[in-house]
Amino acid sequence: LVHLVTGGAGFIAVTLIKKLLEKGHTVLALDNLTRGNIAYIEPFLKNPSFTFAKVDCADLPTFRTGLLSALNGRRVSDLWHMAANSDIPAGGADANVDLRDTFMTSFNAVVLMNEQRIPTIHFASSSAVYGDFGRTEIAETSGPCTPISNYGAMKLASEAQISAAVELFAVRANIFRFPNVVGVPATHGVIFDLLNKLKKDPSILPVLGDGTQQKSYLHVSDLVDAMLFIAEHGQNKLNIFNIGATDVGATVRFIAETVKATASPTAHIQYGVGDKGWPGDVPRFRYSVKKLTDLGWSPRMNSEQALRLAIKEIAAQMGM
Ligand SMILES: NC(=O)c1ccc[n+]([C@@H]2O[C@H](COP(=O)([O-])OP(=O)(O)OC[C@H]3O[C@@H](n4cnc5c(N)ncnc54)[C@H](O)[C@@H]3O)[C@@H](O)[C@H]2O)c1
């Protein structure tokens, strides 16, 4: 039996695949390599329990053919659906980006679950499904969900498709609502962007927004632990969980200052105006992870600890 990971050459998938292989599972990773990188999964290619195929999951016939040929007669027990557009501003500029990579990949994954009798789906959803709740703490029961980005809208639509599948044919679904996830190998995100700017010009660090944006951050090692914990301990056919740190989050100012101290201590930080980094950015959210802590899981790092570690790791990844 095979664990199928879509978006398998992406940032979070790399840690997920590592842990699945360590647990003794056989893993098939599919990715169209638009944002992921084959170099990240290179070390796994030597492992006989791991296979990779370059496949566009947004196109059903391509996804089906790629999957069946890579499976070579084997069956899938678990589908970890990680493929999506991870560039939220790009999806804001062109709604087709999230229609294709965030929604159609999910829609097709669910169609293939039905067709190929895959019992279980684990879905990488996002806190972006909720929209902007200001300073109100967001629990899984908070609502209505009113996303303010095309990305969030297409994640919410994907969740709806999966919940219908659970009624119609799927045996089980775990929907993970991720916070901002940090760590390596970074492919995008605030730390990656800030370090890239310093690489181009070590004297100045322009920041999107005024630095007061405050969000919950989780290290990728904690995130993947939580996913595997829910997969093992979730008690329902459909399990929806916020995953995140237990603190109130960290500010963009904290991130900018830590990046500067790590990579270019003499740089001048130049803040922008307003509390949104870009249209569709949620300036602050407070995340309730009580449902998950009640199930018995807590993160090892809080938001600032996760950021400090990730900034060191990403700076090293970028040779800084
Ligand atoms: N990183 C975060 O902070 C965060 C937060 C919330 C949710 N998520 C979700 O977690 C998942 C993984 O995100 P990530 O941060 O590792 O991003 P990532 O961009 O590194 O990984 C996504 C992978 O999906 C692949 N992909 C995109 N469209 C595809 C397609 N049509 N066919 C096949 N592959 C395709 C990309 O090439 C990439 O390798 C995504 O679903 C993302 O929306 C991430």
How many C-alpha atoms does 199 have within 13 Å on its Cβ side? 13
**pLDDT at residue number 276:** 72
Expressed in angstroms and rounded, the spacing between residue 82 Cα and the centre of ligand 1 is: 5
Q: Report the residue among 86, 187, 217 best suited for mutation to probe ligand 1: largest number of ligand atoms under 8 A from its CB.
A: 86
Q: Residue 195's Cα: distance from chain center in Å?
A: 20
**pLDDT at residue number 215:** 87
Condensed to tens digits (0 to 9), the pLDDT of residues 81-97 reads: 999 999 888 999 999 99
Q: Return all residues near 243 (Cβ < 8 A) that are at least 6 apart.
A: 176, 177, 178, 179, 218, 223, 226, 227, 230, 289, 292
Nearest to 46 by CA among 15, 69, 21, 66: 21
**pLDDT at residue number 134:** 82
Mean pLDDT, rounded, for 104-111: 98
Identity at 298, one-letter amino acid code: S
Indicate whether 283 pLDDT > 90.
no
**pTM above threshold 0.85:** yes
From CA 72, how far away is CA 31, in angstroms rounded? 18
Condensed to tens digits (0 to 9), the pLDDT of residues 226-245 reads: 999 999 999 999 999 999 99
CB of 190 closer than 8 Å to CB of 253:
no
Mean pLDDT, rounded, of the chain: 95
CA of 12, closest atom in ligand 1: 16
**pLDDT at residue number 18:** 98
Q: pLDDT band for position 280 (50/70/90)? A: low
Expressed in angstroms and rounded, the spacing between residue 101 Cα and the centre of ligand 1 is: 9
CA of 14, closest atom in ligand 1: 16
Residue with tokens 């969740």: 159
Identify the weakest region by mean pLDDT among 190-194, 257-261, 284-288, 295-299. 284-288
**pLDDT at residue number 278:** 66
Mean pLDDT, rounded, for 36-53: 96
Residue ID of nearest Cα to ligand 1 atom 2: 181
Condensed to tens digits (0 to 9), the pLDDT of residues 126-158 reads: 999 999 888 889 999 999 999 999 999 999 999
Mean pLDDT, rounded, for 260-266: 95
Q: Report the residue among 82, 123, 255 best suited for mutation to probe ligand 1: largest number of ligand atoms under 8 A from its CB.
A: 82
Q: pLDDT band for position 46 (50/70/90)? A: very high
CB of 30 closer than 8 Å to CB of 57:
yes
How many C-alpha atoms does 6 have within 13 Å on its Cβ side? 33
Check if 139 has its Cβ closer than 6 Å to any atom of ligand 1.
Answer: no
Expressed in angstroms and rounded, the spacing between residue 127 Cα and the centre of ligand 1 is: 14
Q: pLDDT band for position 188 (50/70/90)? A: confident
**pLDDT at residue number 277:** 67
Residue ID of nearest Cα to ligand 1 atom 1: 181
Q: pLDDT band for position 209 (50/70/90)? A: confident
**pLDDT at residue number 273:** 83
Check if 9 has its Cβ closer than 6 Å to any atom of ligand 1.
Answer: yes
